[in-house]
Amino acid sequence: MTFLNVLQALPMWLINGTLFLMYWLSGHIAELLSLVFGLAIAFLFDPPIQRRATGQPRRYERGTVQTAAPTATYFTLVVLGLWLSSHRSPNTPSRSSEQPCGLSGW
């Protein structure tokens, strides 16, 4: 294969690579969105809610004292891991009607 042949084939390789990437992403969209939303819940929503729920006010309005570990974040990450591992199990249909319902749960 000469350098000229490589240059002539390069646009086709780029198009094929782009199509492969697009097909793969569209085939795994439920898992990717679950990962994005699960991480957003774990690191954007859980910490402020748990800080407010477990904070005890000090006297004379000097702030709050945290009394608990970030268990909600850990629990969210464990549930996310179980959700993603269930998608990869061979006994589950690869693209079932349950995925959009589960994705909307996040």
Domain-embedded: residue 9? no
Angle, alpha carbons 79-81-69 (nearest 5°)? 55
Q: Which residues, at least 6 apart from 70, have a Cβ–Cβ distance to it below 8 Å?
A: 46, 47, 50
Residue 5 has pLDDT above 80, yes or no: yes
Residue 104 has pLDDT above 70, yes or no: no
Domain-embedded: residue 80? yes
Domain-embedded: residue 94? yes
Residue 97 has pLDDT above 60, yes or no: no
At 82 the pLDDT is: 87
Q: Could you tell me the residue range of the domain that residue 85 belongs to? A: 29-56+64-105
Domain-embedded: residue 14? no
DSSP 22-49: HHHHHHTHHHHHHHHHHHHIIIIIHHHH
pLDDT in tens, 38-95: 999 999 998 888 877 777 777 777 777 777 778 888 999 999 888 888 777 665 555 5
Sign for the CA dihedral angle at 8, 14, 19, 24 comes to positive
User: How far from 71 is each of 60, 102, 106, CA to CA, in Å?
Assistant: 29, 22, 18
Domain-embedded: residue 76? yes
pLDDT in tens, 11-47: 999 999 999 999 988 888 888 888 999 999 999 998 8
Tell me the one-letter amino acid at 99.
Q
DSSP 3-state of 103: helix
At 39 the pLDDT is: 92
Domain-embedded: residue 71? yes
At 98 the pLDDT is: 57
Domain-embedded: residue 20? no
Phi first, then psi, for residue 55 (nearest 5°) are: -80, 135
Domain-embedded: residue 18? no
pTM for the whole structure: 0.63
Domain total in the chain: 1
At 57 the pLDDT is: 74
